[in-house]
């Protein structure tokens, strides 16, 4: 279950870092996905067995609705700040130390907290990280893994 949620969150974060022509649609899409994942995580902490699955389903639906509203507030400046901070964090920040981005115009902000870098079997450098995004006072969190590409950029893997 955690593996699936990590994959979904990684996809959400990747979407959030890509500039798009339909800014309003993208913001809602990112918010919806972040909310759905957050709701699923909250639901997974409740109960066990079949009750837990129902809680995950309800949490996902509620989170998606709330996240869609939050996503409407992310603008291109937010996305640029997020992307620049993610790159700087993965490239230079010590493990466990958080970095923060903030858009003074929108009031939105977030953090990245990297974990130790490691080498894959194909000799690629990767780092796991935690990300938070706060929009309109509502915070969403996620986890992911990014690997350095041959051109020096970082690509989210999951």
The residue range of the domain holding 18 is: 1-158
| pTM, two decimal places | 0.56
Rounded CA-CA distance 90/129 in Å is 8
15 pLDDT exceeds 70? no
Q: Is the Cα dihedral 134, 136, 138, 142 positive or negative? A: negative
Q: How many domains does the chain have?
A: 1
pLDDT at 54: 61
Question: Comparing 115 with 35, which gets the higher pLDDT?
Answer: 115
The string of pLDDT tens digits covering residues 89-127 is 999 999 999 999 999 988 999 999 999 999 999 999 999
Question: Comparing 129 with 76, which gets the higher pLDDT?
Answer: 129
Alpha helices in the chain (DSSP H): 2-16, 23-44, 49-71, 76-92
């Amino acid at each position: 279950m955690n593996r699936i949620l990590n994959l979904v969150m990684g996809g959400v974060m990747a979407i959030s870092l890509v500039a798009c022509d339909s800014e309003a649609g993208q913001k809602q899409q990112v918010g919806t996905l972040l909310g759905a994942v957050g709701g699923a995580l909250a639901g997974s902490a409740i109960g066990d067995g079949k009750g837990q699955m129902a809680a995950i389903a309800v949490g996902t639906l509620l989170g998606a609705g709330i996240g869609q509203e939050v996503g409407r507030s992310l603008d291109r400046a937010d996305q640029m700040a997020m992307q620049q901070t993610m790159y700087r964090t993965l490239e230079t920040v010590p493990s466990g130390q958080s970095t923060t981005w903030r858009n003074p115009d929108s009031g939105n902000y977030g953090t990245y907290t990297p974990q130790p870098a490691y080498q894959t079997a194909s000799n690629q450098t990767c780092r796991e990280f935690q990300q938070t995004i706060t929009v309109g006072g509502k915070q969403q969190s996620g986890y992911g893994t990014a690997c350095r590409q041959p051109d020096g950029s970082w690509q989210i893997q999951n």
